[in-house]
Each structure stands twice: as structure tokens, then as C-alpha cells.
Structure 1
Amino acid sequence: MCGIVGAIASQNIVPVLLQGLQRLEYRGYDSCGVAVQGAHGLRRARSTARVAELLTQVQDEQLSGSTGIAHTRWATHGAPAVGNAHPHFSFGPSQLGQERPGAAPQPAPQDGGTVAVVHNGIIENHDALRAELQAKGYPFASQTDTEVVVHLVHSLYDGDIFEAVRAATARLKGSYALAVLHKDEPHRLVGARQGSPLVVGIGRDGSAHYLASDAMALAGVTEQFIYLDEGDLVDLQLGRYWVTGSDGRPVQRPVKTVRAMSVAADLGPYRHYMQKEIFEQPRAIADTLEGVAAIVPELFDGHDDQGNTTVSAWRVFDQIDNVLILACGTSYYSGCTAKYWLESIAKIPTQVEIASEYRYRDSVPNPNTLVVTISQSGETADTLAALRHAQGLGMRHTLTICNVATSAMVRECQLAYVTRAGVEIGVASTKAFTTQLAGLYLLAMVLGQMRGHVSADEANVQLNAMRHLPAALQAVLALEPQIITWAEQFASKENALFLGRGRHYPVAQEGALKLKEITYIHAEAYAAGELKHGPLALVTSAMPVVTVAPNDELLEKLKSNMQEVRARGGELYVLADAGTQIESEPGVHVIRMPEHYGKLSPILHVVPLQLLAYHTAVARGTDVDKPRNLAKSVTVE
């Protein structure tokens, strides 16, 4: 979602700010901007185009300075427009007296502001603050919730920008990551975090310090980071910094070393990041399973920053009698797949909830529940809020499956299994999904052993099968030429159905999500047995029907559902295992999967669906890595 970069140094930091924005483009955005403190005070440039265009604007205007902030915005309050783009300035109360509350925004100049702010998150009480500040004469130049922050800081400023930000944040309700400058304190940068991630980058020689919403923004600039906790404020000055907690007292946050992000972000020989990440899945699965010598509870132990065990997974798992999975989007579908595994392998009742729904409904808490959160970034706002809601209901046993070891999700859960998918740039998640499935399968096997439903011999057989997954995935990726042929036919379609049964129904759902995310084709997934309960009315020769057809216990039932489609003239596109006896014929297009993989087959069957979405998007000419209206890391409700 929105991205923040800030820096304070002894030299011009504009190149660092703009490079940081380019590294954050993968998060999704519709405007961008930069503000710097230079010889002529605060100056800024903003654009509704890409960061490359902002770079040209900055060069044309010769923008430079040793302290600055930059931002990529994903619109929430106010349309994508230059006037709504960050950074926002406050010029102080209007010289014409009080501004009428509700007055239309007035254009603001680019240069000469007193306070500058960039913000990720949502200020929930912005309407009340806006009316209060307008009554004091502050003119508003945007429709954003963020502009109340910059005027509020200005109104509270009394010679110390850190104290002004502290006082302002005490009045804000909602979520925020803030970076703030004041023209009268040119070598000072203040940050604040509540509900949205913010990290501090420590310069190599102490002569520069940085702020960012994502450590990846500073790849190649520094490897030393402080991950701010909820409620933290940070004061960055040349040669020094300090952090205060939510109670206003100074705190020491650990400095962590994060390396090798810049290499992972390079596109290499691939046309798009999504294509690169699809083909990285064999390596990502291998890395995620590296070090798994046996399927044991210790795989999920909680650890501190030094790698010491803090919470025993065995002790937690021994106290639970059911599982609640909380997630959003693609991670939700991985949780739905895991439900089939947990109930069939471990025989443990499992419920899967969309995080944004769970936190707002009345539920019946059970203190013996294992609450499992799933998130690529570990900063997904709805999932974090759902986790905290569950904890507030007394469900203290928590575990996360997450791709970022330093994320809030890992810090706030007792237990964790950190996947090793690496940096995922494409907005449409691919390798994060399959590595999540690998971690969740391990969880099902561990719980199955502890509950006496999986023998040690069977656990070894399954671990060997998991170790073969990278090779099996390579064979699936070799199907790409056949999938490109399908994609050429899909490119002219505007609607599609996806069918699956059992543990492959969530795979069909994930395939439909991928197609609509990046091709803008309307796609829906159904449990195949539901066809006759409504969706069959949509089936015509113009409606492609993608069917996931593994050689499992539901195959014959699925074949009957396929016949229902053919009887209505529908076009079937079938991903079939060997031995299914499903053959290509007019109206039935079959791609044969290399091998049947039993309970692990969802990890293989999803990959052709990812490739289908990718090549269809390429054929349609859409922006594959940055689909419209979407963001990578959703850090607002």
C-alpha cells in the first residue's frame, strides 16, 4: 500500500528518497511526491504519474536538500490528484481569518510550507479535527484525512517539532505511520507509528539516518534497522537518534541486520516480477523447508531476536482442541486449503475466517483454540486487528505463518513459522501462497502426530514428498507453452468460472482471484457440486470453465459436474492428473499434470492457474505487476 521514505544526512538525499520510492512501487500507488529542506526552506514536487516522471520533475526543478520525506499514495480519502498527493504542507492559519468549515479545498503552493507530513494509514476522527482546525483559520487544500495531521502539528508547535508530533498523535484516532519536517529545524526528522509499519534505518557511519515503511526501500543504503513498536515516536538528527514508547519514556529497540534485499528485487531476465516469482517457487519451497530435518513441534517454537526459544510449541499444541485461522485475500485461500489438511490429517476441528469479518461479529471464544494468522507481509491491518481481537477474547494460543521475520505478526504471536519466499514484488501473490501451504502442511502433520493420527513412518514419507516438491514444481512450470495457448483464448473473454472439489476448491478460488486481479476478467470459483444450484445458468459457449481435476476420491463426482457444463455448451479447460481418463475433444481442452501428488497436490495445481492469469494479462496488455486499484501490503481497513 502507501510507501514512506525519509532521510536526514550531511549531503543531498533526494536520490536516496527517489530510489526508495522506486523500490516501494510494488506496493501499489496512484500518486507520489517528495519534499526537502534546502537552502530555500521546504520545497516539494508531486505527481499522479509514476516515480520515473516524478524524477524528471525533480530534476527540472533542481530540487535538493539534506533532509527530506517522500511518499507513494494509494488513494483512500480523495481521488488520485496532485492536490491530494503527499507530502502535505501547512502554511499556517489563513491571513483572511477563519475558514468556514466545509469550505471547498483551495490550491496550495508547492514551496514555502512550515510543516511537511507524509502519512500511511487512516485518521478516523479527521472530520472533527478538520472542523476544529478550519475554525482556527487553517485552509485545506485537499480531500485527504492526512491534511488534518499537518495542520494539527502546526497548531501545536512551540519550538520543538518532536513535542508537537507527540501532542498531535495523542489526539489522533485510527492508524498511522508519519514522517514530519519543520522548516525551522532543518536537521531534524520525526517519525511516529500506530497501526502501520515504520522502520528506522541507521546510516553506516552515523552521518545519515532514515525512515521507511518497508526496509526494502533502503536496500543498498543501510543494513541496520530498528522496527518501531506500536505507539513509538522517533527523533532523528545528524549523528544521533532516540525512540520513545507509547508512554513517552525513552526506550531501547533492538537494531537488526537485514541483508541481500536489493538482489532479490532485481527483475533479471523476466518480463515482469510476477513471472519471475512464479518461476521462483521451486527455490522458495526448498528454502522454506531448509533445515526441516523432521516433522516436530519445535519447527513452530517462538523465538527472541537472538534466536533463543521463548515459547514451546509442544506445550501450546498440547493445550488446544481446535484451530481458528484468520487471514485475508490469497492468504485466506491458503487457510481454506489448510482446513482440509488439519481436519483430515490431524482430526482437529478447524474454522477459517476472513479477518475483516471476524473482528466485527459476535463469536464464541474458546481458550483452547489455536489462533493461526496467515500473512505475506505480517503487517496486514485487518489480520492484525483480528488477532488482537481474538487475544482480547482470551484466546492466548497464537501462531503465525508469515514471510517476514521482523513483522508485527511475528512479534505479536506466541509461535511462528517464517516462510522463506523472499521479497515478493508483484501485487498478485504467487510464491507467498505456495510457501504458506508448505508451512500449513507441516502444521497439520505435527498436530496429527501429537494427536496420534500420524505415525513416525508416515511423517517421514510425507517429509520426503515435500522435499520432492521443488522438482515436481519444475515439471509443472514446463507446461507454460500449453498454458500460453489457453491464455490466447482467454484474452478475449470477459467472464470465467473456476471449479474444484474438496481441498482443490480453495485452489480454484485462488485461480479465479489471480485472473480478476491482473486481467480484469470477471472470474468466480465454485465448489463443482454447486453448479446446479445456480451458477449453471451462466454457462454458455462464451463462458470458459476452468476445472481442477486431480486423480483423487472426488474425481468421478467432478466428471459428472463437467458433463453438466458440456451439456449446456460450455467450454471446459481442464488441469487433469494422469490416470483421470479425461481426454481433449471439441469443447474440452486438457493440460495433463506431470504427476499426482496426493494431499500435497494443491501446491502443484495452483501454479498453472497463476501462469494462466499471468499470460492472459500479458495478452490483454494490462499492468501485470501493478494492477489498478490494488496494493501489495494492505495496511488500512
Structure 2
Amino acid sequence: MCGIIGILGLTPVAPLLVDALKRLEYRGYDSAGIATLERGSLERLRAEGKLRNLEAKLAAAPRLGISGIGHTRWATHGAPSERNAHPHATERLAVVHNGIIENFRELRTELEAAGRRFSSDTDTEVVAHLVTVLMEAGATPHEAVAATLPRLTGAFALAFLFEGEDDLIIGARRGSPLAVGYGAGEMFLGSDAIALGPFTDEIAYLDDGDHVVLTRSGAQVFDEAGKAVERTVTRSQGTTYVVDKGNHRHFMVKEIHEQPEVVGHALAHYLDLARGEARLPEGLDFAKADRLAITACGTAYYAGFVAKYWFERLARLPVDIDIASEFRYREQPLSKDGITMVISQSGETADTLASLRYARSEGQRIAAVVNVRESTIAREADVVLPLLAGPEIGVASTKAFTAQLAVLAATAIGAGKARGVLSGTEEASLVRAFSEVPRLMHEALKLEPQIEALARELSKVRHCLYLGRGTSYPIALEGALKLKEISYIHAEGYAAGELKHGPIALIDEEMPVVVIAPHDRLFEKTVSNMQEVAARGGRIILITDPAGRDAAAIDTVETIVLPAMPAAVTPLVYAIPVQLLAYHTAVIMGTDVDQPRNLAKSVTVE
């Protein structure tokens, strides 16, 4: 969740770039930089750490250029340092980038073989070199960018500034958001309306796959196929609110669509994607731990439930998972060599805080997975694992849930390595698998029209079952919770193997059954449960992958086909269709999606 700003201005833009970056500080960062055109020549200023360090450099060496781009970076590939800070540049251009270029190793190898020399450890620099190579071969800046974008695998937002082109910025997005701002003889580009708020309230949000050519006279947008298109210009409230809905109808769906970027940001903080290693925070010694207790409420509890599978499988560490309101009262005996992990988006959840204090009284080491670093839970924990998800406005948690999963997965990988369960090769393989999650989430979001159509049928029922096995069981629980929370349809999640132990009595031709079943080692067992549902006339909605679709051989109301992926990462990606299904069902039913009845964002009382 790095920050991007670009300005084609009428006065020196360097101070404006820095001010805009300050509005993006909530997104998290460890370095910052700007690039401006000084009489046609590219000049960069970059600094590790907070923006005040960049401001000090700017005060010592003022920039007068009226065209520029800026960036706040959270390290993904390459350690936080000035040499890895954005913008990255060649002799022809500078570029800033949010997201992850998954195939950067292959591209870098190709470029180095062609004689290109790199000055950083980042994935971003390959983009600068790819565009430069094409420009040196005679392509215009626009032609070079348009030809480069299809070569990039991953989710990203990009902004380019070109040597000698004082009236040109090019932006592009795939998975990560990007907005265009319209001024009087000026144009702007930013990660969101917040960055653009001081300059304009006339905003156009790029659709996924778009790229845009900005000059001071306006913006020309091109879709993924390269066709010139129009994007609606709206009046933003970004000048008055910390966050706004952008071009989305509700905060919830905006936050669903932010997940590729949010999860990429979280993974990059806890995984060294270049070295293929997990980064465990100081103070967590899993090598000596003999047990892990995880406690949370609601959606956060289901994230912890998924983590139980990961920690036990990847680190061979026994895990007790409890709802916080039960954990705090049942007086569980806790091992002196154990760790207690509490999970809370707000960091203020009353039952979770009480559980933390009980574990503290039992001599436990406390780790807190929270989204608000200044919260009570964060202050009272020994170790804080921040989600870095940014503000979540929708009461029904979406991006915080998948950010929790990302943090917990990375921590489980680190624990596995620390405990000698995972080899270096296995660790690197898992890190590579999780680095692909933002792209896979982006692909899952493309299924939204199919899911919206399905929601029209689901909105007609009053009851629904969700089934899953392994890590898909907690996702089934989360899917049922989401449907209950915002559509008010009664829904229950079950382990698929429990179907015949009671819930099967509910199955009839009116009962929809959502089955979450990636084609993994448990798939055949889940197919047997689907056959039991089908034999009783149940209406099956199957969420699977191409292999699962082909192997199921069962009639379904709808089959939602996600890309093939390693089993370890499925909870993060399969969360998206169950979120979208709940969201669109609720919208069709006319409920208050962002503030459902009887619910609060942060439960601070028992």
C-alpha cells in the first residue's frame, strides 16, 4: 500500500509532491522520494525513513521543476534504503510503483543478459529498463509503456516521468488503484483521492487494466486492449474526509477491491520476496515455544482458525484456538513456554483485550495482530504484528480479514523455519507461492459479474449452508457470517464431514449449499458430501478451480472457477468470492451494507 503522486503543474511541484505524500502516510512506508524535470532533465531526491528526511534534502537542494512524481515505499524486494527507494530511473525516465512484479527475476535476467545494469534490488527497476529499451529502439514513451505492460505479471500501479517531456506523465493500473485529478491547466495522478484532495475535487478513477496519458490539457485513457475509452469524472470528497468511496457504491466493496494491494503490502512487510525468506518480528521465539494459543472474535477468530492449520502443518506447533469470550472465562491452563496470539482489527475488542490480560497473568508471551498500532491491545502486547491495511470503514470486515491471513501465514512460515520443520528450499517455495496472491486475488475479482448474477437468486432464500474441509472450513464459516451480517439471511458454516451428523436434515430443493472446494488432497471427500446434497435435491453453488470443476461431475446451480493455485494460499483468494456473494446479495435486498443493523465496527463492551 505504497503511495503515488504525479503532478503536471504551473509552479514548482516538489513541495506539493511532499505535501501530497504526507496525506498518504496512513498507508505505511519506510522510504520516500520524488523525481522532477529541471529544464528537461530528470532529477531525483530520495531518503530512507520518514518524510521529514526527504524534506530536509529538499530544503538543502530546492527543485524548481513544474512536472514531477513522488512515492512513499514499503519495502517488498530489497531492504529499506535510499538506493531501493522510489522513484527508480534510467537515462530516459523515472518510475514509481505500487504492488509486486512477480516475474521480475526472469525479466531482470533477460535485461542483464542484454547489457542493462541495475542499481537497486527492487522489482520496480525492471519496469524502467523494459520501457527504456523500447524507447531506445525508437518507440515513443506511450508506445513503450503500452508494449511493456503485457509483459508484467502481478498486481501494480505505475507512474512514469520522461526525460525531456515536460508535459507528459503516463500512469497504469492492474489490481492497485490509481486516480486522475483534473485542474485548470494542471493534471494530477494519485493512489487515491486523498493524495489529490489539496489540488482538485474533479476525479476519474481508472478501471482495472487501464493506462492513462496525462498532459496539461487533459487525460486520454486506454483500456486493457489498448482502446481509447472515457472514464467518468466525479466530484470527490477527498478534501474533507480521510477516506472516500471513490467510484464504488459502498465502502465494503471498495475495501474488497483493495485487497490485492493490501495483502501485497502485508506480505511484503513480513516476507523478503527477493530472498525467499520470512521475517519474524523480534521477540517471537517459536523455536522454544511448546504451544500456541490463538484467541479472537468474529471474523478475526476465523482468521485465527485458518492459522491453526498453517502453524500445525508448517511449524508442527500445537495450537489452541478459542473465541475470546470463552477463552477469558474458562481459565485455560497455559504453558510457561507458550505464546498467546490475539487478533483484533481495532485493537480495542473488549473480550480479546480481557483474554490478553488473562494470558499475561499466566506468564505468557503475547503477540498482537492488529490494524491500529496505537490501540490498547497493541500497547499491552509484547510483540505487535501490524496489518498495514489502512482504515477499514465497512462494519463487515473484508480487507482486514485477508490482511490478518497474510500476516498469520507469513508468521507460520517463519515459525516453521525457526523450528527446523521447513528447509530453506521449502521456505522459498512458500514465499514464492504467497507472492502470487495479489495477482490471484485480482483474477478472482474479475468474477464479480458472475457472482452478482448468482446473488439475485440467493437473495430469494431465507437459509443457506456453507461447507468446506481443511482451511476451507473456516472460509465457509466466514462466508456464512458475511451473509448473515449484511443480508440478514440465516446462514451456517460447517465442516463438510459433519454434514451427515445433523445438517443434512435441512437439505431440500429450496436449500442453497455453498461448497468451497479447491482441488486439493481433501477434494474427493468433499465431492462425496456434494453427492449427498445432490441426492436430496439441494442447490449446490461450487467454488473451485479448473481441476475441481472438471472432476466434480455434479450438477450445480453455479460453479465459480478460480485460478489454480498452491493449496497453502487458497484461504486468501477464496475469501473474495464469498465476500462478493454476501455483498451483492445484500445490495439486491436493499440492506445497509456498510452499517448493518445491530452491529458495531469495534466491540468495546462485553
Would the TM-score normalized by the shorter structure come out above 0.5? yes
Alignment correspondent of 1:299? 280
Most deviating of 413-422 and 499-508: 413-422
Letter in 2 for 1:299: L
Q: 1:585 to 1:456 in 2, by over 3 A?
A: closer
State the match for 1:406 in structure 2.
374
Quick one: distance in 2 between partners of 1:418 and 1:490? 36
Pick the aligned partner of 1:282 from 247, 260, 265: 260
Match of 1:325 among 286, 294, 305: 294
- Partner of 2:604, secondary structure, is coil
Equivalent residue, structure 2, for 1:607: 576
Measured in 2, the distance between the counterparts of 1:338 and 1:266 equals 32
Conserved in 1, the CA contact under 8 Å of 2:291 and 2:339? yes
- Determine if contact 1:295/1:445 at 8 Å carries over to the other structure: no
Deviations 1:443-475 (Å, cap 9, x if unpaired)? 111111111111112212211222211111100
| C-alpha contact (below 8 Å) 1:496/1:545 kept by paired residues | yes
Structure 2 counterpart of 1:522, one-letter code: H
Taking the aligned partners of 1:428 and 1:487, their CA distance within structure 2 comes to 18
Q: What's the counterpart of residue 8 of structure 1?
A: none
- The answer on whether the counterparts of 2:542 and 2:556 sit within 8 Å (CA) in structure 1 is no
Moved over 3 A (4+): 260-264, 294-299, 582-588
C-alpha separation between the residues in 2 aligned to 1:297 and 1:274?
30
2:327 to 358, 370, 385: 358
Matched residue type, 1:557: K
Q: Distance in 2 between matches of 1:453 and 1:500?
A: 27
Q: Deviations over 1:584-632 (max 9, x none)?
A: 8654421111222321111011110000000000010000001000000
Indicate the residue corresponding to 1:368 in structure 2.
337
Pick from 477, 486, 489 the counterpart of residue 521 of structure 1: 489
Question: For residues 487 and 585 of structure 1, what CA distance do their matches in structure 2 show?
Answer: 21
Partners in 2 of 1:623 and 1:394 — Cα distance?
44
* Aligned-pair identity (%): 48
Q: Do the aligned residues in 1 keep the contact of 2:293 with 2:319 (CA within 8 Å)?
A: yes
The aligned runs of 1:465-544 (5 Å cut-off) are 465-544=433-512
Which has the larger displacement, 264-273 or 510-519?
264-273
Q: Secondary structure at the match of 1:526?
A: strand
Partner of 2:213: none
Q: 1:192-591 maps to which residues of 2 (within 5 A)? A: 265-291=243-269, 292-293=271-272, 299-301=280-282, 312-313=283-284, 316-395=285-364, 397-580=365-548, 581-582=550-551, 586-591=555-560
Describe the shift of the 1:566–1:422 C-alpha distance in structure 2 as closer, same or farther (beyond 3 A). Answer: same
Is contact 2:346-2:370 (8 Å) kept?
yes
Instruction: Measure, in 2, the Cα distance between the counterparts of 1:323 and 1:585.
Output: 40
Q: Equivalents in 2 of 1:436, 1:464: separation in Å? A: 19
Aligned to 1:595: 564
Residues 272 and 624 of structure 1 are in contact (CA less than 8 Å); yes or no, is this contact kept in structure 2?
yes
Cα distance, 1:319 vs. partner? 2.8
Residue in 1 aligned with 2:605?
A: 636
**Could you say if the C-alpha distance between residues 451 and 549 of structure 1 is closer, same or farther in structure 2, counting changes exceeding 3 Å?**
same
Gaps of 5+ in 2: 1-193, 199-237
TM normalised by structure 1 equals 0.56
Moved more, 455-464 or 520-529: 455-464
Q: Deviations over 1:364-413 (max 9, x none)?
A: 12111110001111111110011001111222x11111111111111111
Q: Please name the residue that 2:585 is paired with.
A: 616
CA deviations on 1:465-523 (whole Å, 9 max, x unpaired) are 22211111100000001101110000111000000001110000000000000000000
String of CA shifts for 1:241-266, please: whole Å, max 9, x gaps.
xxxxxxxxxxxxxxxxxxx9976521
- Following the alignment from structure 1 to structure 2, what is the Cα–Cα distance between the partners of residues 573 and 582? 15
- The count of aligned residue pairs is 368
User: Equivalents in 2 of 1:546, 1:498: separation in Å?
Assistant: 5
2:531–2:554 contact (8 Å) kept in structure 1: no
Distance 1:505 1:518 in 2: 21
Deviations 1:219-273, CA, capped at 9 Å, x for gaps: 99xxxxxxxxxxxxxxxxxxxxxxxxxxxxxxxxxxxxxxx99765211100000
Q: 1:500 to 1:344 in 2, by over 3 A?
A: same
Comparing 408-417 with 609-618, greater Cα deviation is found at 408-417
Larger Rg: 1
Distance 1:583 1:332 in 2: 30
1:369–1:463: structure 2 CA closer, same or farther, 3 Å change rule? same
Contact 2:310 2:409 in 1 (8 A): yes
* C-alpha contact 1:261 1:423 (8 A) present in aligned 2: no
CA contact (8 A) 1:583 1:590 kept: no
Gaps of 5+ in 1: 1-215, 221-259, 302-311
Equivalent position amino acid for 1:300 in 2: P
Return the TM-score normalized by structure 2: 0.59
CA distance in 2, matches of 1:626, 1:482: 25
The answer for the alignment partner of 2:34 in structure 1 is none
Write the letter of the residue equivalent to 1:284. V
- For residues 98-137 of structure 1, the aligned pairs below 5 Å read none
CA distance in 2, matches of 1:295, 1:367: 32
Asked if structure 1 preserves the Cα contact closer than 8 Å seen for 2:368 and 2:378, the reply is yes
1:303-338 per-residue CA deviation (whole Å, 9 max, x = no partner) reads xxxxxxxxx33xx33331110001000000000000
Tell me how far apart the structure 1 counterparts of residues 482 and 577 of structure 2 sit (CA, whole Å).
11
Q: Read off the aligned partner of 2:370 and give its amino acid letter.
A: C
The structural deviation recorded for 1:296 is: 6.1
Spell out, residue by residue over 1:52-95, the C-alpha distance to the aligned partner (whole angstroms, 9 max, x if none).
xxxxxxxxxxxxxxxxxxxxxxxxxxxxxxxxxxxxxxxxxxxx
Q: Give the SS at the match of 1:575.
A: strand
